[in-house]
Amino acid sequence: MAKVGIFFGSSSGVTRGAAELLAEEFKGSELIDMEEDFDGIEQFEDFDVLLIGSSTWGQGDPQRDWVDPLYELSNDQPDMSGKKVAFFGAGDQDKHGEHFVSALGKMHDLFTSLGASAYGFTSTQGYTYEFSLAEREGKLCGLGIDDVNQEDLTQERVSAWAVQLKTEMGL
Ligand SMILES: Cc1cc2nc3c(=O)[nH]c(=O)nc-3n(C[C@H](O)[C@H](O)[C@H](O)COP(=O)(O)O)c2cc1C
């Protein structure tokens, strides 16, 4: 069976909540809080499937616990070919609609540049924002959640995404 690792960075708990919902959907998966449980980029090697979670901060930047790991990845350039990755994370389309969930786009570009295959693109319908680095050919390159403005949709979005990932990844 494919080993699924759910790696998340979350400052106020929103992305963490989504990660925990995903852990319930992917039985046998491992939850890795980037602040508490992350030992180094070798940890990605333990898994076939990486669900990468980060909220967006600053000007479209990944959450702070991802800064060093992402730097190490881009520096060391480990081979990630054969790995299946998908990206999720919280943002605020109203107050930060100039960079809504842009962290997902930055992480997508890095992991795919290392050879990983990205899954779980979603429709932009139902969101209202000006710009996002996560937008690719009219889709978001992962799952955006927004508990500031659309908390009532989060659980449903995460569950639907889990179903989509299982189908796309053949899990
Ligand atoms: C200073 C600041 C900057 C932010 N920048 C962005 C941003 O660029 N894009 C975005 O979508 N959300 C942005 N947000 C919103 C957060 O991503 C949002 O509050 C999210 O729910 C935090 O998730 P977390 O608890 O998982 O860290 C920002 C929030 C703050 C306070």
Residue ranges of domains in the chain, CATH in brackets: 4-166 (3.40.50.360)
Reading phi first (left if > 0) and then psi (alpha if -120 to 50, else beta), residue 9 is in beta
Q: Which residue among 15, 31, 54, 57 has the greatest number of ligand 1 atoms within 8 angstroms of its CB, and so is best to mutate?
A: 57
Whole-structure pTM value = 0.98
Q: Give CA 115 to chain center in angstroms.
A: 17
Question: What single letter denotes the amino acid at residue 13?
Answer: G
Reference 89, options 27, 171, 7; nearest CA is 7
Q: Is the CB of 146 under 6 A from ligand 1?
A: no
- The size of the chain, in residues, is 171
How many DSSP H helices and E strands does the chain contain? 4, 11
- For tokens 């500031």, the residue is 148
Query: Tens of pLDDT along 107-129?
Result: 999 999 999 999 999 999 999 99
d(CA 23, CA 56): 21
> What number of other Cβ atoms are within 10 A of residue 168's Cβ?
14
Check if 134 has its Cβ closer than 6 Å to any atom of ligand 1: no
Between 137 and 13, name the one with better pLDDT.
13
* 54 CA from centroid of ligand 1 (Å): 10
Mean pLDDT of the chain: 98
Helix H or strand E segment including 50:
strand 49-54
How does pLDDT run across 56-92, given as a tens digit for each residue? 999 899 999 999 999 999 999 999 999 999 999 999 9
Note whether 148 and 100 are within 8 A (CB).
no
Q: Using a 6 Å cutoff on CB, does residue 114 contact ligand 1?
A: no
Taking residues 48-58, report their average pLDDT.
98
Query: Does pLDDT of 1 surpass 90?
Result: no
- Quick one: average pLDDT of 18-46? 98
107 lines ligand 1 (CB under 6 A): no
Question: CB–CB of 105/132 below 8 Å?
Answer: yes
